[in-house]
Structure 1
Amino acid sequence: MITVNPDSLRFFDKSDSIFNAADVQDTADALKDAKKQSESKLDRTQLLKVANKQAKDVIERLYAPTTEAGIYTVTVTTTDPK
């Protein structure tokens, strides 16, 4: 995941930039606003359910050679997201 901290933005040659001096703060504010909007739309419960399923799949695939050979039985249990 790539994130940009809007407070860390620095523009060095503002005169020769696609952003002029008046737009520098606007750019940082727009990034902050976009982050707030995306976080408010995020369904954390659904995200955690998908993460649980993916983690279970990875672990099962990791141990597949030993389970297929009958050496071990692997049971993966996840908790329900809160």
Structure 2
Amino acid sequence: MRALLEAAFAPEALEIADDSHRHVGHEGARDGRGHFTVALTSAAFAGLAPLARHRAVYAALGDMMQTDIHALAIQARAPGEGR
């Protein structure tokens, strides 16, 4: 996940948290795919609406969204944007 996001966005900051342990027993966790939170800051997001930023992250992760990731919380910011 980290390598794909770094290649796609050259982020100034990137944090990935595996939240899967919070979802043990959850229907979506039974197939082995995980729950993650991603926070990244990249100039690639400048001028993009939040939905476009999320779509770009999904596109960068490609097949991982079908094979490894069940749920993904995304915080995508351009440089200079607050938390």
- Per the normalisation by structure 1, the TM-score is 0.27
Greater RCO (CA < 8 Å, at least 6 residues apart): 2
- Per the normalisation by structure 2, the TM-score is 0.26
Q: For the pair shown, which has the larger CA radius of gyration, 1 or 2? A: 1
* Structure ranking higher in helix proportion: 1
* Structure ranking higher in strand proportion: 2
